[in-house]
Amino acid sequence: RKEVEQDPGPFNVPEGATVAFNCTYSNSASQSFFWYRQDCRKEPKLLMSVYSSGNEDGRFTAQLNRASQYISLLIRDSKLSDSATYLCVVYDNYGQNFVFGPGTRLSVLP
């Protein structure tokens, strides 16, 4: 089993739609969680950290469920510019490194 798994995608949604991505992690000792966005052939960029209480940044909401070991990202009112690959990242306290999921590709269609 991979350490970090994500919805396989791709997700094709119309503008204005709400879309949710899920991510599961295997290491129960993981403490820090992040969502990164990666445009085609560009570097990943931090979208948001995921806090235990859940957090929101504009149209983006991230939630963490430690008991079930999953993280979610909700995008409301999708824009064409949201089209990208979304990477779930978990910090492994034991190995002291960041572990990336394979990413979920989103295409927002006009």
Partner 1 sequence: EAEVAQSPRYKITEKSQAVAFWCDPISGHATLYWYRQILGQGPELLVQFQDESVVDDSQLPKDRFSAERLKGVDSTLKIQPAELGDSAMYLCASSLSAGSYNSPLHFGNGTRLTVT
Residues that bind partner 1 (CB under 8 A): 4, 31-32, 34, 36, 41-46, 49, 51, 87, 89, 91-93, 95-103
Query: Cα–Cα distance between 61 and 48 in angstroms, integer?
Result: 9
Give the residue with the Cβ less far from partner 1, 44 or 78.
Answer: 44
Give the residue with the Cβ less far from partner 1, 41 or 110.
Answer: 41
Min dist CB 91 to partner 1, Å, is 4
Q: Which residues contact 66 (CB under 8 A, 6 or more apart)?
A: 28, 52
Give the count of alpha carbons within 13 A of 104, CB side only: 23
Angular region, 93: left φ>0, alpha ψ -120 to 50, beta rest: alpha
Give the residue with the Cβ less far from partner 1, 46 or 80.
Answer: 46
Taking the mean position of all CA atoms in its chain, how far away is CA 14? Answer: 19
Q: What single DSSP character describes residue 3?
A: S
Min dist CB 75 to partner 1, Å, is 19
Give the residue with the Cβ less far from partner 1, 19 or 90.
Answer: 90
Min dist CB 16 to partner 1, Å, is 28
